[in-house]
Structure 1
Amino acid sequence: MRLSRKLCVAGAGLSLLAACASPKGSASDEAPELGVEVVSEAGAEVTGKPRFGSFGFDAEGMGAGVAPGDDFYAYASGAWQESTEIPADRSRYGVFDMLSLEAEEKVNQIIVAAARAGGEPGSNTRLIGELYASWMDAESIEARGLKPLAPYLSRIQALGSHAEVASLMAELPYQHLVRMRIMPDPANPSVYAVSVGQSGLGLPNRDYYLDTSERFEQYRQAYVAYIATVFELAGFDDGESRAQAILELETAIARAHWTRERSRQVEETYNVLTLEAFNALAPQLLLARGLEIRGLGGVDKVIVSQPSALEGIGQAFEGASLDRLKDYLIFHFISDRASWLPQAFDQASFEFYSQTLRGTQEQRPRDRRGTELVGWALGHAVGQEYVAQHFSPASKAQMDALVAHLIEGFRGRLQTLEWMDDATRAQALEKLSSFEPRIGYPEKWDSYEGLQLQADDYFGNRMRLSEHRWARELERFEEGVDRERWSWPPQIVNASYNPLMNQITFPAGILQAPFFDPHADPAMNYGAIGAVIGHEIGHGFDDQGRRFDAQGHIRDWWTPQTNAAFEEASGRLAEQYSSFCPIDDLCVNGRLSMGENIGDLGGMQMAYAAWRTFVKETYPEGEAPVIDGFTGDQRFFLAWAQVWRSLYRDDALRAQLVNGPHSPGMYRVNGVVRNLDAWYEAFDVTEDHALYLPPEERVRIW
């Protein structure tokens, strides 16, 4: 079950987890040239120059001649869209990517400084330097060749039965057909449980195997060619026939997989099985034995996300020959570690996974890839220094106050929602009161005690990192759930809601312009980071987050009447988004993206309510001043549009539509504003405009 809701998905692999830049300026900077005075949420006057434009918005990026009611995204960002190019080493580019790329400079400086400093053995400084040095030593990686693979491939080749294959798959380094992880138990989130779900595919998801359209057929052909190349580079003969056999096996596995839409349904994916029932799902895979091998032999129950998928995967495993299973393991062991190996393997992996599947033109420079690697693998070690250098206490204080204001704004909306009955309302208000905001960085940092790295052994370092991480998971499994722990490093550009902890988390990385700018006009912060805060709060009440109560227990606390009203409104929202088709043969999946779309719409509704309260309390005239010809409400909506500026390569856009769960940036703008009455009033939108929806067709949830 997927129980962490994220604001954005920017790409694949480590690029999702890149670090981010800090806000420009501080309270001591010179006043803005136009003399804009900003009243902070904490009540103090903040002076300084906004990063973008005169009040926090890049007006030069607006589209000339575009009516806001016809295409609000193009109105706010048309010139930016036309003048901006996607960097050759990226599959998409937008505000999230811009901030991540900027931050690489800062994070790289931290890493390089650590490498120069050395530090005591086992210290964070030493670990950072050793991991980075081992990655940058491409000559040593090349010189070692395939030697690091030898003991692992020998074990695979020596397998003599399906039972031996199933046992080896359960060991940490090898590809398994099921995913095992440790997570808080939704029935009692104060303790950990074992969760098991479908896995085993080399392509992104089942659609890449089963979609019969021309482009997906091309993906499969390219995948076969890539598999054959991996075998050839590793010194195996007959790579093409091995590749075809692996594709056939994975296609059988894909047929058993649940769809993405079904896999996000909490009520379907929470299945508690005894150890005996779990093992009986797929006896061919020796699932109970696999738990023992992973160090989890003492459990008496397992949470299974997709029971029927495991049954089908077991049948596909049983139907495959021993040689086919061994080839499958060999290919995935090598492919999963292609960047750890000589350049030919790394290049082949890039050409398929990045160029073919996502349209990326060039491989990223090695030092930038190393920055991403270290910034995630040792994220808290890097994050401590990042926060010390680039996240101010003043920003944290302003965010604390803004989050509190958004929560109070949502409380007011909950108290007056016509479609929610009093019984459900009481529990919704209790849940809202239990929300725990986490701003900037953790109070408790992850420890890397016991981790041993070597500056001249990158392959070994990656193996040891994986082993250390799993060992820490097993240690936590024996303890109670630590609510203070952050699974993310603070420098990433993202935000999240965790329904099991009822926590909303805003790392330092996202708390920078244009999301959050302490020197921008308040309307900009309400329309940008304010709506992001509302988005994450909204996840606690979206189509899946609402399945959890104030304490994070999975429980249906909605009355049938209120549930029916919610289902009707969310269904209409899904229909709206399913009509957006950026590619001729592929549209947004309104059901798959429903949670994020509800988050966006609800976030904007909450943020606008809070913004209007702020206006009444702050401006004597009862209305925000006009700045550069834009009213306060117009600036609020422009702020939301600005943060979703984004460009996609065709294959990357196709991947986002298929994989979900987020709608492309242009629909995160146009799909939301057309449902908000205040937007129509702010920009004089009438029934003559393309985005116009009659009032009765506008979806109002939160």
Structure 2
Amino acid sequence: MRKLVIGGICASMIAGLSACNDDKPATQTAAPKAEKTATAAAVTQALTSGIDFANFDKSVRPQDDFYLYVNGGWIKNTEIPSDRTSAGAFYDLREKSKDDVKAIIEEVAASKDLTEGSDEQKVADLYRSFMDTETLDKLGIQPIQAELDKIAKLDSKAALVAYFGESQVLGGGTPMAFYIGVDAKESSRYATHIWQYGLSLPDKDYYFNDAERFVNIRQAFVAHIAKMYQLAGFANPEASAEQVLALETEIAKNHWDKVETRNSTKRYNKLTLAELAELSPNMNWDGYFTALGVADQSDIIINQPSYIQGLDKVVAETKLDVWKNYMQWQLLTHFAGQLSQPLDKENFEFFSKTLNGQAEQQPRWKRGVATVNGLLGEVVGKVYVKRHFTPEAKTRMQTLVENLRGAYGDSIDNLDWMSDNTKVAAKEKLAKFDPKIGYPERWEDYSKLTITADDLIGNGIRASQLQHEKSLEKLSGPIRKWEWHMTPQTVNAYYNATMNEIVFPAAILQPPFFNMQADDAVNYGGIGAVIGHEMGHGFDDQGAKYDGEGNLRDWWTEQDLKEFAARGKALVSQYNDYAVFDDLHVNGELTLGENIGDLSGVTIAYKAYKKSLNGKEAPVIDGLSGDERFFIGFSQIWRAKIKEEAMRNRVATDPHSPAHFRAVGALSNMPEFYNTFELKPTDKMYIAPEKRVKIW
């Protein structure tokens, strides 16, 4: 597991597919023709303005809810597909990416003359190993039986802790996650880190909340473990399942909550091995680090030291047999989706259906594509880029990025709350932003990875082991600035604070985010706001703690920091007031960084758009001014519809606000939006001028 200081545009957010209404009477034969005509018109309009007019709901006033005004028609007419928990702009592209990658994989797999050890052979055989359910059903639990036996033979707590390291290397679950990443206070070197881990449920609150929903989930969780144990042939499944919940509850007591884990300063705790041993004397750190291949390290960064201290006590006070039961569960649940169909289906029933409301499992080919993307992503990415990303698109994106950078610099110059000294440091950081667009300049090497068509679990384990070996090599080498943490076919983007880089994979550079056929207004409102969002992470409440070299250090004056914090506090208050359901509000503290990114992104994108006009008036297209098209372009990228179960999970765990509030929250603070759509104090989106938040 790798943990990165990265802010993404959607991390685990939104996506989509429009669904036709299939329950009309058979006699209404004219309806499909009308629908096709409307769709054709929408396509024609999209090529001129880049705006999907068919998605509007004109019964909603733009001044009251601009998100529903732009997307409400789509929301009313769209059903979430039964094999998904959400639909929307991001998800449309993700589905398209899956189709595109499937075509690449199937074309490779159809070849009869694949050279053993070639990238093509690996892609074909990995996909085949996932799709061959007949072999998986015959094997049953056999692919992980040797590891289950190894866990059963652990004869001491010291051996248990050492096995935590072994499990990490092969891709199993453990109560703590080891990874190698850039040292946040010395960004020219890599360091070893440990992050809290080990829970099966989405968040620590799921183990303690007494509301009926959470009680039911815990009961279903125990029943699920018991069923998995039965399918795997374990003895005493019910009692063992209760043990797992009890131990995970003890582990959860020591977990930091999601707001605490966002705090970059609080997370940086570099300890010597002697200090670590003093913090947690019951842990066999020598055995653990030896298993991980880092026995010669002199120090380690512990992200949540009180968690490790608490885990030490849990290890000491919990019987070894209970721990062995837990570790067998972690192994089983981590590999369940790659085992026999009964285990795979039961895994889906709880984690996707019960927790997230997904009615049906995705077709196996989609999950096969995800497996190939996960293990051999950049092999497929090379072909994907050749087919779906043009040099012209990259050039236009590079221009957009530099225009956004320039607008950000102007905005910093014009801030009335920031001192000159801090402005200089902020602009130095801005100048050092490293934009990566489309695909890596240097591709990942998979030559040492062995893939066979009849060993799905083995393929995954070997890939995990090789990734760990590559990670270890970082400790003795320079920072790998060429490395990407997303494949080109990923619909997302990110900012990496310790490398001060903003990254935009090829797959997100498509409509409605980036439309080569559309005028600049909608592109600045779409992908321009995404670029600005990622730049904004460099200056959000956590990203602003890092300098231009990626070092965690204080480069602010004391007064500027107070002014910055006050603006963040106001944004927290604004988003805390947004009700997702009657009994659930947005967590403004958890989502603060992403909300700053959204507000900064659309604000700077608008400035860049106006700057790109060189003082000229934008043309009127499809009856809309340039400013109107800009704001509509921004709102339509957040188009989304999500099942209630999934939405509740996301509000609890996701640092991004729900899509609806990402759109209206940012725009409600922009004077330019007020001017364009003539908002008045009686309008629902109106915020009094003195209460509007302006940060960058």
The aligned residue for residue 521 of structure 1 is 519
Q: Is 2:645 aligned against 1:651?
A: yes
The aligned residue for residue 28 of structure 2 is none
- Measure how far apart 1:248 and its partner are: 1.0
The aligned residue for residue 107 of structure 2 is 113
Q: Deviations over 1:529-585 (max 9, x none)?
A: 001100011110100001110111110101011000000011000100011111222
Among 478, 489, 513, the alignment partner of 1:480 is: 478
Among 7, 21, 45, the alignment partner of 1:5 is: 7
Query: What CA distance in whole angstroms lies between the structure 2 residues aligned with 1:51 and 1:102?
Result: 21
Whether contact under 8 Å (2:13, 2:656) holds in the other structure is no
Query: What CA distance in whole angstroms lies between the structure 1 residues aligned with 2:555 and 2:45?
Result: 45
Deviates more, 1:316-325 or 1:337-346: 316-325
Q: How does 1:113-512 map to 2 (within 5 A)?
A: 113-117=107-111, 118-171=113-166, 172-173=169-170, 174-512=172-510
- Measure how far apart 1:586 and its partner are: 1.7
Query: What CA distance in whole angstroms lies between the structure 1 residues aligned with 2:374 and 2:236?
Result: 38
Among 628, 631, 635, the alignment partner of 2:622 is: 628
Q: Deviations over 1:186-222 (max 9, x none)?
A: 1222221001121111111211112221111111111
Q: Is 2:686 aligned against 1:700?
A: no
- Measure how far apart 1:477 and its partner are: 2.4
The residue identity in structure 1 corresponding to 2:154 is: L
The aligned residue for residue 39 of structure 2 is none
Query: What CA distance in whole angstroms lies between the structure 1 residues aligned with 2:124 and 2:609?
Result: 46
- Measure how far apart 1:119 and its partner are: 2.5
Q: Deviations over 1:642-683 (max 9, x none)?
A: 000001101110011000200010000111111000111111
Whether contact under 8 Å (1:95, 1:646) holds in the other structure is yes
Q: How does 1:610-689 map to 2 (within 5 A)?
A: 610-617=608-615, 619=616, 623-689=617-683
Q: Deviations over 1:411-465 (max 9, x none)?
A: 0011110010011111001101111111111100000011111111112111111
- Measure how far apart 1:330 and its partner are: 1.1
The residue identity in structure 2 corresponding to 1:5 is: G
Query: What CA distance in whole angstroms lies between the structure 1 residues aligned with 2:483 and 2:398?
Result: 19
The residue identity in structure 1 corresponding to 2:7 is: R
- Measure how far apart 1:51 and its partner are: 7.8
After TM superposition, the score normalised by the length of structure 1 is: 0.93
Structure 2 unaligned regions, length at least 5: 17-42
After TM superposition, the score normalised by the length of structure 2 is: 0.94
The residue identity in structure 2 corresponding to 1:414 is: I
Query: What CA distance in whole angstroms lies between the structure 2 residues aligned with 1:75 and 1:605?
Result: 20
Whether contact under 8 Å (1:278, 1:288) holds in the other structure is no
The residue identity in structure 2 corresponding to 1:8 is: C
Q: Deviations over 1:78-131 (max 9, x none)?
A: 100000111111111111110010122211111111112252222111110110
Q: Deviations over 1:116-161 (max 9, x none)?
A: 2252222111110110011111101111112222211111111222
The aligned residue for residue 528 of structure 2 is 530
Whether contact under 8 Å (1:63, 1:75) holds in the other structure is yes
The residue identity in structure 1 corresponding to 2:662 is: R
**Secondary structure in 2 matching 1:647:** strand
After the TM superposition, which segments of 4 or more aligned residues of structure 1 sit over 4 Å from their partners?
Answer: none
Whether contact under 8 Å (1:50, 1:519) holds in the other structure is no
The residue identity in structure 1 corresponding to 2:164 is: M
Query: What CA distance in whole angstroms lies between the structure 2 residues aligned with 1:330 and 1:550?
Result: 45
Q: Percent identity?
A: 39
Whether contact under 8 Å (1:419, 1:562) holds in the other structure is yes
Query: What CA distance in whole angstroms lies between the structure 1 residues aligned with 2:287 and 2:409?
Result: 49
- Measure how far apart 1:611 and its partner are: 1.1
The aligned residue for residue 554 of structure 2 is 556
Whether contact under 8 Å (2:409, 2:427) holds in the other structure is yes
In structure 2, the CA distance between the partners of 1:601 and 1:57, relative to structure 1 (3 Å rule), is same
Query: What CA distance in whole angstroms lies between the structure 1 residues aligned with 2:173 and 2:393?
Result: 43
The residue identity in structure 1 corresponding to 2:665 is: G
- Measure how far apart 1:630 and its partner are: 1.6
- Measure how far apart 1:2 and its partner are: 4.6
Whether contact under 8 Å (1:339, 1:346) holds in the other structure is yes
Query: What CA distance in whole angstroms lies between the structure 2 residues aligned with 1:373 and 1:236?
Result: 28
**Secondary structure in 1 matching 2:486:** coil
The aligned residue for residue 45 of structure 1 is none
**Secondary structure in 2 matching 1:180:** strand
In structure 2, the CA distance between the partners of 1:295 and 1:51, relative to structure 1 (3 Å rule), is farther
Query: What CA distance in whole angstroms lies between the structure 2 residues aligned with 1:331 and 1:133?
Result: 27
Whether contact under 8 Å (1:275, 1:288) holds in the other structure is no
Query: What CA distance in whole angstroms lies between the structure 1 residues aligned with 2:499 and 2:250?
Result: 37
Query: What CA distance in whole angstroms lies between the structure 2 residues aligned with 1:200 and 1:283?
Result: 20
The aligned residue for residue 96 of structure 1 is 90
Query: What CA distance in whole angstroms lies between the structure 2 residues aligned with 1:267 and 1:103?
Result: 37
The residue identity in structure 2 corresponding to 1:155 is: K
The aligned residue for residue 21 of structure 2 is none
The residue identity in structure 2 corresponding to 1:397 is: T
Query: What CA distance in whole angstroms lies between the structure 1 residues aligned with 2:579 and 2:315?
Result: 37
The aligned residue for residue 19 of structure 2 is none
Whether contact under 8 Å (2:528, 2:605) holds in the other structure is yes
The residue identity in structure 1 corresponding to 2:638 is: W
**Secondary structure in 1 matching 2:518:** coil
Among 72, 80, 91, the alignment partner of 1:86 is: 80
- Measure how far apart 1:309 and its partner are: 0.8
The alignment yields a C-alpha RMSD, in angstroms, of 1.7
**Secondary structure in 1 matching 2:614:** helix
**Secondary structure in 2 matching 1:600:** helix
**Secondary structure in 2 matching 1:309:** helix
Deviates more, 1:579-588 or 1:495-504: 579-588
Query: What CA distance in whole angstroms lies between the structure 1 residues aligned with 2:361 and 2:189?
Result: 42
Query: What CA distance in whole angstroms lies between the structure 2 residues aligned with 1:409 and 1:50?
Result: 32
